[in-house]
Amino acid sequence: MRKPGIIRSRSMRSARMGKRLASLALLGLAAAMPAPLDGLGGDPARGRAVVTRQSSTCTLCHAGPFPNPHLQGNIGPDLHGVGARLDAAGLRGQLVDPAAANPGTVMPSFYRTEGLRRVGPAWQGRPILTAQEIEDAVAYLATLRDPAP
């Protein structure tokens, strides 16, 4: 007969492993996309406008060095210092296809138009952000190098 203690410690170990895998995803092992979309350059000032405007929904889930701290969510990681954690390829990958790195993510794909479920008719075939807006957001996020105060 197996000792219950051994079984318990095994399942505890796999629970810990699961948590570790989940936090690896949270640490931003985004699927890297080195090539700028459509070869476009990004503008950090325009990117800040993209990231902080309510219609982009970023601040529903993310806090960061943005106006109105009381309106910022904590479903995703705080974006303070994200430019020091991820390079442009990682930032782009996270915005274009977050599910590539974390299949269970709740972060929407801001640029993918295929393989999505329950897309409203007005949005079919249209990404949430344009290629230029993605590149601008990447350029802005890359400037966020300071940790949360």
Cβ closer to ligand HEC: 1 or 102? Answer: 102
Residue nearest to ligand HEC (CB): 28
- The nearest distance, CB 4 to ligand HEC, in angstroms, is 35
Q: Does 33 bind ligand HEC (CB under 6 A)?
A: no
Candidate residues 62, 96, 111, 142; the one interacting with ligand HEC per rule CB under 6 A:
62
Answer yes or no: are the C-beta atoms of 36 and 91 closer than 8 Å.
no
- The nearest distance, CB 118 to ligand HEC, in angstroms, is 15
Candidate residues 49, 52, 57, 66; the one interacting with ligand HEC per rule CB under 6 A:
57
Determine the Cα–Cα distance for residues 142 and 135; give it in Å rounded to an integer: 11
Pair of tokens at residue 42: 């990004």
Candidate residues 22, 60, 71, 116; the one interacting with ligand HEC per rule CB under 6 A:
60
Q: For residues 98-127, which are near ligand HEC according to CB under 6 A?
A: 98, 102, 105-108, 110
Q: What sign has the CA pseudo-torsion 142, 143, 147, 149?
A: negative
CA distances from 116 to 29, 67, 119, 120, 138 (A): 22, 31, 7, 11, 22
Would you tell me how many other CB atoms lie within 10 Å of the CB of residue 120? 6
In eight-state DSSP terms, residue 5 is: H
Residues that bind ligand HEC (CB under 6 A): 25-26, 28, 51, 56-58, 60-62, 75-77, 79, 82, 85-86, 91, 94-95, 98, 102, 105-108, 110, 137, 141
